[in-house]
Chain A
Amino acid sequence: MHALRILRGGTRARLSATPGDLVFEGLSTLVALSVVGLLVVITVILYLVAQESIRVNGLRFLTDTIWDSVSQRFGAAPFIYGMLVTSGIALLLGVPVSLGIAIFLSELAPPWLRIPLTFIVELLAAVPSVVYGLWGIFVLGPAMRIYIEPGVQSVLGFLPLFQGRPIGSDVFTAGVILAIMIIPTISAVSREALLAVPDSQREAALSLGATRWETTRLAVLRYARAGIFGASILGLGRAVGETMAVTMTIGNRAAFFGSLFEPGQTIASQIAGRWLDASTPLELGALVELGLILMLVSLIINAFARLLVGRFLRVGEGAE
């Protein structure tokens, strides 16, 4: 491998100067670069369409809570809020479960169970989101309305967040669906982070007389915390952009600082629900501006998460 690499680094052009190779090299370079071009083109076009809205609404777009086609007034605040709240619920519920799965898979599970279970958890990520949405409408929604939401209410009902008559098609249900959907991502990446913890760390804790759980807490989780954090952010990235399942379960009504048991709307679900009805360039522009915001947020979250996870896994391997 190394010999090859040195050759390629030094005298690649002259060595592989046959016409076929040149064509192949040129083509694959072009295809690779076109991905970058595509991202730029998408951003530019979105920006052009959104220009009208950006000019008219300005920064007020981010704080205005009204979205009204009649008066042509468009604000994104309820959708940004909805996105943050549903993603927040998803992380709150999804991270602990994912961590539990990751700990079980990397520290506790007997080998015969480890491989099939890892496979099944990853399969969860392959279920199409519209199927999650269907399940959300017909199974989770009613269960939330009849059992879970009244249950939560009986304990935490004094908080404004949990008031109102549970309807099952609301912000809370969308958050729970999202939690389920991000579990495979977070648990798979966290598991990798835990596996990257050198055994010498576990032995250090064991030799101090730590029990299995103490070893996990003292040596493994602490060591891998940057990786676990990155995994969670990666899950967040998936949650903010998720459209279909949320649109199907959230109830689709712009709401701001309401109860979690009321319908809401996220950026993604608003775009999906409104684009057919956008009648004026301004409303279309406002929707596209929403899209730009979502894209920007997703890009930042994903880049940050990948950086964290990548760095952790490299350092983890380097340490052993």
Chain B
Amino acid sequence: MDKVSAWYGEKLAIQEIVLDFEEHAVTGIIGPSGCGKSTLIRCLNRMHETIPKARVEGQVLLDGQDIYGLPAVSVRRRIGMVFQKPNPFPTMSIYENVAAGLRLNGERDRKKLDQAVLDSLKQAALWEEVKDSLDKSGASLSGGQQQRLCIARALAVRPEVLLMDEPCSALDPIATAKIEDLIFDLKKDYTLVIVTHNMQQAARVAETTAFMYLGKVVEVNNTRELFERPRESLTESYITGRFG
């Protein structure tokens, strides 16, 4: 992304961000609350602009094309997103939840839907737990399962990039561990960007980590470098727990 700035009304949330996201790798974004990391990730699939009075400037290039020059709807089909709180559709079954995105694309072929649901649930490491209860409500699952259901729902449309906005912040440690394993597996097929306030999580799953503070990227580096030999004193004080 190149010189991306985003506003909420008059309030500038992120300022002239320049960041590269490596293909088939995980990029972590860390920083204290309110530093703009969620805003940043929401600019990557044009979700930021769905908030009234919000606006974005700059370019976000996906395979060399500026996504702000494409229809927002098609951008979001190529760049999926998982949110902080699991948000399955409670009135739909597990199957329908996963199939929802494909149905939006006009897929009617039952066989193709079945296959996509199977693949996505397997990829999201949920298949074994739900294979006998596909017609149960998505809301009947535990929090961790719901989040993996949301991941499966996002994967079902075969996006190129998967954005995760603090995907584990509402989950317990065991569910968190499962999602982290999953992230590790997913990077074979997808480019992932994960926002987290949990530095250990970034250290565990991300190849590259960016540290944000007050709407700017302070430092980007190979994750290990960033945590072991931070170049900026601000980064160092954050990762050593002196603020944030």
Task: Name A's B-contacting residues (CB within 8 A).
Answer: 111, 198, 200-211, 214, 218-219, 222-223, 225, 319
Q: Does B52 reach chain A (CB closer than 8 Å)?
A: yes
A5–chain B nearest beta-carbon distance, Å? 30
B92 within 8 A of A: yes
B153 adjacent to A208 (CB under 8 Å): yes
B52 touches A208 (CB 8 A): no
* A208 with B47: CB separation less than 8 A: no
The verdict on B124 contacting chain A, using a C-beta distance below 8 Å, is no
Q: Considering the chains assembled together, what is the distance between the CA atoms of A200 and B85 in angstroms? A: 8
B residues lining the A interface (CB < 8 Å):
45, 47, 50, 52, 73-77, 80-81, 83, 85, 87-92, 100-101, 104-105, 150, 153-154, 157
Distance between Cα atoms of A111 and B9 in the complex (Å) = 14
Q: Write the nearest CB–CB distance from B135 to chain A, whole angstroms.
A: 16
> Are B83 and A209 neighbours in the complex by a CB distance under 8 Å?
no
Is there an interface contact between B104 and A218, defined as CB atoms closer than 8 Å? yes
| 26 chain-A/chain-B pairs, Cβ below 8 angstroms | A198-B87, A200-B83, A203-B81, A203-B87, A204-B87, A205-B100, A206-B50, A206-B76, A207-B45, A207-B47, A207-B76, A207-B83, A208-B104, A208-B157, A209-B73, A209-B74, A209-B75, A209-B77, A209-B104, A209-B105, A210-B73, A211-B73, A214-B104, A223-B89, A223-B91, A319-B90
The CA of A209 and the CA of B78, in the complex, are separated in Å by 8
- Min Cβ gap B151→A in Å is 12
Smallest CB–CB gap between B152 and chain A, Å?
Answer: 12
Contacting residue for B83 out of A111, A204, A211, CB 8 A? A204
Residues of chain B lying within 8 A (CB to CB) of residue A205: 89, 100
Q: Kindly state the separation between the CA atoms of A198 and B88 in the bound complex, as whole angstroms.
A: 12
Q: How far is the CB of A108 from chain B (nearest CB, A)?
A: 12
B23 to chain A, nearest CB (A): 21
Contacting residues, chain A, for B153 (C-beta < 8 A): 204, 208
Taking CB as reference atom, which chain B residue is nearest A319?
B90
Chain B residues near A200: list those with CB within 8 A.
83, 85, 87
Contact B91 A203 (CB under 8 A): no
Nearest A residue to B88, CB-CB: A204
Q: How far is the CB of A7 from chain B (nearest CB, A)?
A: 36
Tell whether, in the assembled complex, residue B85 and residue A209 are in contact, meaning their CB atoms are under 8 Å apart: no
Q: Which residues of B contact A214 (CB under 8 A)?
A: 104
Q: Which residues on the A side are within 8 Å of B90 (C-beta)?
A: 223, 319
Selected contact of B157 from candidates A198, A209, A219, CB within 8 Å = A209
Q: Which residue of B has the minimal Cβ distance to A315? A: B90
CB distance from B124 to the nearest CB of A (A): 15
In the complex the two chains form, is B76's CB within 8 Å of A209's CB?
Answer: yes
Most buried by B among A207, A210, A319: A207
| B85 adjacent to A222 (CB under 8 Å) | no
The distance from the CB of A228 to the nearest CB of chain B, in whole angstroms, is 12
Q: How far does the Cβ of A212 sit from chain B's closest Cβ, in whole Å?
A: 9
> How many angstroms from the CA of A207 to the CA of B79 in the assembled complex?
8
Which residues of chain B have C-beta atoms less than 8 A from A223's C-beta?
89-91
In the complex, A209 Cα to B161 Cα: how many Å?
Answer: 13
> B101, A219: Cβ atoms under 8 Å?
no
* A207-B85 contact, Cβ under 8 Å, with A111-B52, A222-B92, A223-B90: no
A207 close to B74 (CB less than 8 A): no
With both chains docked as a complex, state the minimum distance between the C-beta of B134 and any C-beta of chain A, in angstroms.
18
- With both chains docked as a complex, state the minimum distance between the C-beta of B168 and any C-beta of chain A, in angstroms: 16
Chain A residues lying within 8 Å of B80, measured Cβ to Cβ, are: 207-208
Residue of A nearest to B81 (CB): A207
Q: Across the two chains, which residue of chain B brings its CB closest to A204?
A: B87
The 5 closest A-B pairs by CB, nearest first: A209-B77, A207-B81, A208-B101, A200-B87, A209-B76
Known contacts A203-B50, A204-B150, A206-B50; is-contact A225 B91 (Cβ 8 Å): yes
B150 surroundings in chain A (CB, below 8 A) = 204
Q: Are A219 and B89 in contact (CB under 8 A)?
A: yes
| Whole-angstrom CA separation of A198 from B89 in the bound complex | 11
Give A219 to B92 CA distance when docked, in angstroms. Answer: 10
Interface centre among A203, A209, A210, A219 (most CB of B within 10 A): A209
Chain A's nearest CB lies how many Å from the CB of B3? 24
Q: Nearest-CB distance from A48 to chain B (Å)?
A: 48
Q: Please give, as numbers and ranges, the residues of chain B lying within 8 Å of A222 by CB-CB distance.
A: 89, 91-92
Minimum Cβ distance to chain B for residue A222 (Å): 5
A209 nearest in chain B by CB position: B77
Residues of A within 8 Å of B50, CB to CB, are 202-203, 206
- With a cutoff of 8 Å between Cβ atoms, the chain B residues found around residue A207 in the complex are 45, 47, 76, 80-81, 83, 154
Residue in chain B with minimal CB distance to A221: B91
Task: Flag if A208 contacts B76 (CB, 8 Å).
Answer: yes
Give the chain A neighbours of B92 by CB distance below 8 A.
222
Measured between C-beta atoms, what is the minimum distance from B107 to chain A in Å? Answer: 12
Closest to A111 in B: B52
Nearest residue, chain B, Cβ from A201: B87
Q: Taking A203-B50, A206-B76, A208-B153 as given, write out 6 further A-B residue pairs in contact, using a Cβ cutoff of 8 Å, ordered by the A residue number.
A: A203-B47, A206-B47, A206-B50, A207-B47, A208-B154, A222-B91
Q: Tell me, rounded to whole Å, the shortest Cβ–Cβ distance linking A229 to chain B.
A: 12
User: Hey, which chain B residues are within 8 Å of A218, CB to CB?
Assistant: 89, 100, 104
Contacts of B74 in A (CB 8 A): 209
Q: How far is the CA of A218 from the CA of B97 in the complex (A)?
A: 10
